[in-house]
Amino acid sequence: MTHENAGLSSMDDSEKRAHPPRSPSADIKRRRDGTLRRPSQRDVGKVGEARKRRANDLEGREWTRNSISVWSDLKRDSEESTLKHPAIYPKAMVSRLLDCFTTSEDQTVLDPFSGSGSTLLAAWLRGKAGVGFEINPEYVNLTRTRQESLQVEKSIPGGEIKLFGQDARALPEKLKPGSVDICITSPPYWDILTQRRTADSKSIRHYGEMDEDLGRIKDYDEFLAALTEVFTGVLRALRPGGYCLVNVMDLRKGPHFYPLHSDLAKEMQAGGWTWDDLIIWDRRLEYNHMRPLGYPAVFRINKAHEYILVMQRREETNG
Ligand SMILES: C[S@@+](CC[C@H](N)C(=O)[O-])C[C@H]1O[C@@H](n2cnc3c(N)ncnc32)[C@H](O)[C@@H]1O
């Protein structure tokens, strides 16, 4: 079975009725001069109720490439590799997620844990509006500095960045219901950055000493509850049908394994989200100092991948 077929066969009956399976390339029309034309949102609307809204603006080959469940080619660019933040993801990852889960009409991109601003900057570079929350003023400043230097390098099409230097749990007070088109984020990975690193022996680097930092909560269940509170605010701020892509990894503390990706997804489901799918972010391009963990007493897994949870606010959710 091909990847595309696997995806289609996993649709339930109601989904099949709402979105009949079709090849993306079937939408591409040939002009009289022989060149290809993608349908506009208006064209798609004409086809009928069931096909009113396109998922994205991708054409067939790129659609198929991005739909493969393991993403192995993402890495930081030269602008990103010098930055001082312990957990940055590349703008290229955000850009690909925007390619897959938005059209040019979707304009507002949210990151409740903005860090160095990767999501907001990637959105802004594409002329979209970025809205973010970040408690550490150092990272708020870093985002502004990055924005200025990127502005000098390139001519930017005209989006804007709105960054609240405060706790993401204040999100419902700041954003109107349904005002956001997509959320792309990476929350703190519990308090793991405050722990000694056994896999690579690198020195400890965490997000600072702020009381509101969710990465300082010691109790795992309390930490999950705090994250879930933030994502409940996100659900309300997102437009119906919109996606929330959450980058997380599983954790180990000594003998205990914590499957953070599935624990968080289940909490989010209980709060009204639909867990739509999962992408594996294979980081072997960057992780090249692996050691024989646990040798010789216990065989431990060297984690070289993270996850991107594909969560959706389905149309019927009254979040
Ligand atoms: C994994 S990092 C995000 C990194 C980001 N994706 C990037 O590429 O730079 C998580 C961020 O959440 C911030 N943070 C922790 N608790 C927070 C809270 N309650 N509200 C807002 N931001 C918070 C931390 O300061 C940290 O910068």
User: What pTM does this model have?
Assistant: 0.83
User: Which residue, 21, 49, 68, sits at the end of a domain?
Assistant: 68
User: Are residues 145 and 113 both part of a single domain?
Assistant: yes
Best mutation site among 77, 91, 113 for ligand 1 pocket (most ligand atoms within 8 Å of CB): 113
* Residue 318 falls inside a structural domain: no
User: Which residue, 47, 68, 89, sits at the end of a domain?
Assistant: 68
- Rounded to the nearest 10 degrees, the angle between the axes of helix 118-125 and helix 137-153 is 30
- What's the number of domains the chain is made of? 2
Q: Is the CB of 212 under 6 A from ligand 1?
A: yes
Structure-token pair, residue 1: 């079975």
Q: Is the CB of 207 under 6 A from ligand 1?
A: yes
User: Are residues 220 and 293 both part of a single domain?
Assistant: yes
User: Are residues 166 and 291 both part of a single domain?
Assistant: yes
* Residue 185 falls inside a structural domain: yes
Best mutation site among 207, 245, 249 for ligand 1 pocket (most ligand atoms within 8 Å of CB): 207
CATH of the domain at 198: 3.40.50.150
Dihedral over Cα of 7, 258, 243, 313: its sign: positive
User: Are residues 195 and 64 both part of a single domain?
Assistant: no
Measured in Å, residue 88 CA sits from the centre of ligand 1 at 10
* Residue 317 falls inside a structural domain: no
* Length of the chain as a residue count: 319
User: Which residue, 52, 68, 84, sits at the end of a domain?
Assistant: 68
User: Are residues 25 and 118 both part of a single domain?
Assistant: no
Measured in Å, residue 134 CA sits from the centre of ligand 1 at 6
pLDDT in tens, the chain (319 residues): 333 333 333 444 444 433 434 444 444 454 444 444 455 554 444 444 445 689 999 999 999 999 999 999 998 998 898 887 778 999 999 999 999 999 999 999 999 999 999 999 999 999 999 999 999 999 999 999 999 999 877 777 768 999 999 999 999 999 999 999 999 999 999 998 776 555 555 555 666 678 899 999 999 999 999 999 999 999 999 999 999 999 999 999 999 999 999 999 999 999 999 999 999 999 999 887 889 999 999 999 999 999 999 999 998 644 4
* Residue 319 falls inside a structural domain: no
User: Are residues 262 and 182 both part of a single domain?
Assistant: yes
Given phi > 0 = left and psi -120 to 50 = alpha, else beta, which region is 48?
left
| pLDDT for res 287 | 85
* Residue 134 falls inside a structural domain: yes
User: Are residues 54 and 139 both part of a single domain?
Assistant: no
Residues in contact with 197: Cβ distance below 8 Å, sequence separation at least 6, in sequence order: 203, 204
Q: Are 189 and 251 in contact (CB under 8 A)?
A: yes
Q: Find residue 37's DSSP bridge partners.
A: 29
User: Are residues 147 and 86 both part of a single domain?
Assistant: yes
User: Are residues 23 and 108 both part of a single domain?
Assistant: no
| β-pairing verdict for 70-71 and 274-282 | parallel
| pLDDT for res 37 | 47
Q: Are 144 and 87 in contact (CB under 8 A)?
A: no
Amino acid at 104: S
Measured in Å, residue 43 CA sits from the centre of ligand 1 at 40
Element holding 185 (H helix, E strand): strand 180-185
Q: Is the CB of 304 under 6 A from ligand 1?
A: no
User: Are residues 114 and 7 both part of a single domain?
Assistant: no
User: Are residues 222 and 236 both part of a single domain?
Assistant: yes
| pLDDT for res 67 | 98
Structure-token pair, residue 245: 């892509």
| pLDDT for res 155 | 76
| pLDDT for res 205 | 62
Which residue range is the domain that position 203 belongs to? 70-312
- What does residue 275 show for φ and ψ, rounded to 5 degrees? -85, 105
Measured in Å, residue 187 CA sits from the centre of ligand 1 at 6
Residues in contact with 154: Cβ distance below 8 Å, sequence separation at least 6, in sequence order: 125
Pairwise CA distance, residues 57 & 102, whole Å:
8
CB 121: neighbour CB atoms within 10 A? 25
Q: Find residue 244's DSSP bridge partners.
A: 183, 311
- What does residue 6 show for φ and ψ, rounded to 5 degrees? -60, -40
User: Are residues 188 and 61 both part of a single domain?
Assistant: no
The protein residue whose alpha carbon is closest to atom 27 in ligand 1 is 115
Peptide bond into 296 cis (omega under 30): yes
Q: Is the CB of 232 under 6 A from ligand 1?
A: no
Q: Is the CB of 89 under 6 A from ligand 1?
A: yes
Pairwise CA distance, residues 169 & 212, whole Å:
9
| pLDDT for res 84 | 78
Cα 211 to chain centroid, rounded: 25
Ligand 1 atom closest to 89 (CA): 8
Nearest to 206 by CA among 144, 94, 283, 115: 115
Residue 163 carries which DSSP code?
Answer: E
Residues in contact with 207: Cβ distance below 8 Å, sequence separation at least 6, in sequence order: 86, 136, 139, 188, 193, 213, 215
* Residue 272 falls inside a structural domain: yes
Q: Is the CB of 167 under 6 A from ligand 1?
A: yes
* Residue 181 falls inside a structural domain: yes
* Residue 92 falls inside a structural domain: yes
Measured in Å, residue 3 CA sits from the centre of ligand 1 at 34
Q: Is the CB of 90 under 6 A from ligand 1?
A: no
